[in-house]
Amino acid sequence: MCGIVGYAGSRDCSDVLVDALSKLEYRGYDSAGIAVFENGEIKVSKAQGKLEMLRKKMEAEGKPHGCVGIGHTRWATHGEPSDVNSHPHSGADVTIVHNGIIENYRELKDFLDSKGVEFVSETDTEVVAQLLNYYYDGSPLDTIIKTIRELEGSFALGIIFAAFPDRIYAVRHESPLIVGVGDGENYIASDVPAILKYTRDYYLLDHDEIAVLTKDEVRIYDEHKELVSKELMTADWDESAAEKGGYEHFMIKEIHEQPNAINMTVKPRIRDGLPNLEECGITHENIKDFKNIFVVACGTAMHAGLVGKYVIEKLARVPVTVDIASEFRYRSPIVGEGDLVIIISQSGETADSLAALRLAKSLGAKTLAIVNAKGSSIAREADMLIYTHAGPEIAVASTKAYIVQLSVMYLFAFELALAKGRITEEKCRKLTASLLGVPDIIEKILKSSLEKSQYISTKLISADSLLYIGRGLDYALSMEGSLKLKEISYIHSESYAAGELKHGTISLITDEMPVIAVVTQSDLLEKTVSNIVEVKSRGAMVIIISREDFTIDEKAYDFRIDIPAMDDMLMPMLAAVPMQLVAYYTSVLRGNDVDKPRNLAKSVTVE
């Protein structure tokens, strides 16, 4: 959620830190700050609001000048957004930035209060700074080790000690942190995009590892002060992939990148016309005996899992339970040997999903991770792993990450059904060929649906509330459409199974209330249309997203977006695109910050 950066080198540190923080704005934040060694002293500048407020403050008051420093964008947890609560936070000898939540900060603060320590902020982060300062004995490494042993919760820390102006210390526990390696300069960051302008090489810190950076050297220690040898990783995309490339917003750019993202994800996993996931640790032998499957995820990733449930159950005839990760953790799930738990997470660091993975493993289940971030915690800890190869997704509202998660769920469903003997090779080849054809069809939809989506958005911008409805796969998809609209347009939106309308929801229908109906499933066409007529007859303004070959009475709806027809099972991948476009243009027309919607963060690394 919060963003951390740090720099040790020869450049103007303030400029590097603010530039790096700007690449982490997608993570969500409400204040920003930096701390820089200037002539041997730590100078701090921080401000509530966007990075522009920090820039203006430094222009007015003077920016710190130096070559070593740390920076932070804060998403408030303890204490309201304010200049005082902004990071960095300091003790007499130490200054830190922090991503995560310290769960036992209250007890630690009471202890420090008893020792006469005075606090100026309401944050859990200042507690860590003061605890480091309390234990400081001249050895930063010993001090950090002693301190982190007392912390409970998740944290990534960037730390500078007043007595060591040439170096940065960094440590992680649960929350993500990388160490970038350059030529005569080194970095810390919460995520790769922050450093791509300067280097593509980086180390991934493991839990409780401590990095010590100077401009010429990176050393990494474990909690016993033993040096650790790490694999130097290289990002497989460059800075241009994390730039807008001429588009007005990252979200619309990422919508247009979906065909290529699907190709990058699917094509390498096809051999002789059939899915082949051996590189992911998945073979017919090790998946054919699973009795139950659980899909655990959050938000958009959970919606991809819902589509996967329908497809897996239909093709492979294996029962699938889809859980919100935060609920799975605490409901004492009946999971064990012979079961498979699929964890879907774009970042691979989602706190609840990571905890669910560990719980599933402790109960004896096998685990499969579907993630986009190489080397992430979920990727490393799962028994089997499928990378989605979406490249960077900067907009908070997920689009191409969702579409590639869907494509992976389809690949896995095809392979599982074939392994269990539920479908023939011929059927599997046909389905696989259809999946390979999806990118070209999405390209056509992007060209044909832009204008209609924009027009429909003009009908939604003044709405107070609206509904999405669908049946079967269309219901699973409508849940994602509803989420996409509400998170960036701020219009209240809910999704309901169309067949449930008469069980209460239809009472919400008022004159001109927008209802968006997804109609792509041949065997459910007549029943869905009957539900559409029900809401239309009660005054709703009905918008349908439908297969172009479906004949639907024009009196049943007000507006229609047509999409090409293909196998019913794959229609969610096509219908998702106009829903994304409608959400995007509605947000634009309402004047919202499309890429950085209020109160939301891209990576939710705390509970």
Active site residue 555: no
Residue 487 corresponds to which tokens in the numbers above?
């998170």
Read off φ and ψ for residue 537, nearest 5 degrees.
-70, -15
Q: Which of 503, 484, 502 is nearest to 494 (CA)?
A: 484
Read off φ and ψ for residue 44, nearest 5 degrees.
-115, 135
Which contiguous run of DSSP H or E holds residue 321? strand 320-324
SS3 79: coil
Nearest 5°: CA angle at 170, between 178 and 226?
100
User: How far is 18 from 16, CA to CA, in rounded Å?
Assistant: 6
Catalytic option among 2, 13, 298, 428 = 2
CB-CB contact of 137 with 143 (8 Å):
yes
Over the range 361-393, which residues count as b (16 or more CB within 10 Å of their CB) and which as e?
Answer: beeebbbbbbbbbbbbbbbebbbbbbbbbbbbb
User: How far is 142 from 423, CA to CA, in rounded Å?
Assistant: 60
Residue 104 corresponds to which tokens in the numbers above?
């036992």
Ranges of H-type helices in 38-152: 51-61, 105-114, 124-135, 140-148
Q: Where are the beta strands (DSSP E) in 416-509?
A: 465-470, 492-497
The residue behind tokens 């590892």 is 209
User: How far is 57 from 557, CA to CA, in rounded Å?
Assistant: 53
What's the gap between Cα 510 and its chain centre?
35
Residue 172 corresponds to which tokens in the numbers above?
């992680």
Strand 292-297 with 320-324, pairing: parallel
Q: How far apart are the first and last CA of the chain?
A: 11
Complete DSSP assignment for 558-574: SEEEEE----GGGHHHH
Active site residue 115: no
Burial class (CB in 10 A: 0-12, 13-18, 19+), 105: buried
User: How far is 479 from 294, CA to CA, in rounded Å?
Assistant: 19
Catalytic option among 63, 366, 596, 602 = 602
Q: Which of 75, 52, 55 is nearest to 63 (CA)?
A: 55
Active site residues: 2, 602
